[in-house]
Chain A
Amino acid sequence: MTESLPDRKPSRRDFLKLIWAVFGGAAAVEAAGIFIAYLQPRLAEGEFGSRITVGMVDDFPAGSVTHIPNGRLYLVRLPDGGFLAIYHRCTHLGCTVPWDQALGKFVCPCHNSQFDMPGNVENPPAPRALDLFQLTIENNEIKVDTGTVLQRQAFDETQVVYA
């Protein structure tokens, strides 16, 4: 047998080893990819995740907060008459945030985050304002697309929809 010198030319055997390594590696990556793809969420059909009709504009007085359980959201009508569809899930760690009518704010039971009516953080640990859904008003009918969650740092006027 010949001693393998440090800088000998790659032999046929080295080449085959390399080929094996490349194909083996590729197979492993593919298998991992298939596994992860397989685990991807199945599409949730049903109420939440689709476009739902919440009600008519006049059902909601100005300055009111109404829980819409099947849309997982609060329909908020600000004192000036504008609408927001606020996801009822706390931006801290996902608890469902109840509206406290007496205090006039959202108070999370899990770690005591508090949010004002438009969803701004009044008390951490929540890191950002409550999430929104896109809200549209057609012929005085309020519709909310619960398929996409819109994250925001804080409330601003452009988020409000008017009838």
Chain B
Amino acid sequence: MTEEGNPAPAPRSMFDRMRERLVPDGLPEDDRGRIRMVVNSLVLHLHPAKVPERTLRWTYSWGLGGLSAVLMMLLGVTGIILLNNYTPAVPQAYLDILELRSNVWFGELIRNLHHWSANLLIIVAVLHLVRVFLTGAYRPPRELNWLIGAGMLVLVLAANFTGYLLPWDQLAFWAITVGTSILSYVPLAGEWLSRLALGGPEVGGNTLLNFYSMHISFIPLLIFALMSYHFWRVRKDGGLTMPRGLDEAEPPISERVTTIPHLVRKELVFALAWIAALLVFAMLVPAPLEDIANPDVSPNPAKAPWYFLGLQELLLHFHPLVAGIILPGLAALAVFMLPFFDTNPASVGVYFRSRRGRSLTFLSAGLALVLTPLWVLLDEYLLNWSAWLPGWPALLSNGLIPLAVLLLPLFLLDEWLVRSFKADTEERVLFIAGFVFTAFLILTAVGIFFRGPGMGLYWPWELPVAGH
């Protein structure tokens, strides 16, 4: 083409000139062109020009971070469309949703897409966190990106929670009532905080307006800003951590390939496949909607959004200060501190750190799998701390004392690991995190599948169908 040095003849037709001006370079055909395209493009420059082949392995990252980003885009687009048919007022909000379902072209589809993407995002972001945790990818120099990721997870939960109220049905009203009441247990500032969030003493029109404004402006803006920074930091910190097998002693040298097409093609296929799958799902499964909110009648059972049911399960067993503030606070503190005390660079990129690490993780998860349901049953049918300690303040009898009794075995197990196995920091971290995370998953499952009317324990097939 132009290789001989004589410039190509000026394009003759109008369409040639249009193509020339609108898509100046066409698609690059050699590696140099591909590299330049990444460097010069606004979107693509979040990527490096070349990436080590190994980090592209599907079974390392599972594409979970990328999928989170895809879901955020989908949420942004469907959210903006939904805005055109929604009024944040009582009772118009609910009527608008009814209207959307019955009278707006594709209204139901858009709502379903938004709903299911939002729920999937929580699962995917948590799995992403788990994979970053299991591969030790939070260690120096990636501490900051771990914290940003954790911050985004909190924001994603906040976005989901504020969005949950918007349909103004019974589900929304009571989930938010229960969820925000936890705030009032914050020592000293509790009542004030809860009034601030609700815009009054109870969930009402002001709450709807507050949540709406947070849901459509502040939270998504912050997430998108942090997301851009998160991606840029991945680049800055030297790309993804290098995957390594359990038995490979040295981080392997991996051939570097150009981002285009090797990475970008994978990303596109992956994104398209997920979008297609979500579309099908949204066509088949409608997002739930119950009767209009009625402040006089709490449904039985009244459950928080599913991702808070682990927390709600804790609230059944402990004083709210312990279950709603102290335990989540400790967990947040642990996530925050993790990259600063668990820093061994030698095992970064290895799932479970080592064979022993893997055994310990499975051991702890297995223990939690057995002990958590056992404890739920015991506490439901046998333990009755407040009756055994009559006259004690509820915070002690129904909170700190049972908590201490529960934490003791975990502490002893940890002590046993150190004494008998000379477990080091990273092994203890795996063990404790494996236990706590599994226990939380099980509590969540109990809350979703085994809690029925009066919050009693039921078999899943005995549960009344929600809304009927």
Contact = CB atoms under 8 A, between A and B. Distances in A.
B301 interface: yes
A79 to B, nearest CB: 24
A1 interface: no
Among A67, A94, A97, A108, find the residue whose CB has the most chain B CB atoms closer than 10 A. Answer: A94
A49 to B, nearest CB: 7
Given A95-B174, A110-B298, A127-B319, A41 B454 contact: no
A107 B298 CA distance: 11
A127 B455 contact: no
A9 B297 CA distance: 70
Interface in B364-420: 386, 394-395, 398
A69 interface: yes
A69 B300 CA distance: 19
A25 interface: no
A133 B390 CA distance: 27
A143 interface: no
B55 to A, nearest CB: 41
B177 interface: yes
Interface in B443-468: 453-456
A27 B206 CA distance: 28
A127 B202 contact: no
Q: What's the interface size class on B, roughly? A: 35 or more
Interface secondary structure of A, over-half rule: loop
Nearest to B395: A127
B200 interface: yes
B278 to A, nearest CB: 33
B-side binding surface: helix, strand, loop or mixed? Answer: helix
Contact of A44 (B201, B317, B395): B201
B196 interface: yes
Interface in A47-83: 48-49, 67, 69, 72
B201 A111 contact: no
A68 B361 CA distance: 55
Contacts of B302: 95, 109-110
B273 interface: no
- What 8 A-B pairs come out closest when comparing CB atoms? A109-B300, A94-B181, A93-B181, A95-B298, A127-B394, A110-B302, A93-B178, A41-B200
Interface of B: 174, 177-178, 180-182, 195-196, 198-202, 204, 206, 210, 295-302, 312, 315-320, 386, 394-395, 398, 453-456
10 contacts: A36-B196, A41-B198, A41-B201, A94-B180, A94-B181, A94-B202, A125-B315, A125-B317, A127-B320, A128-B394
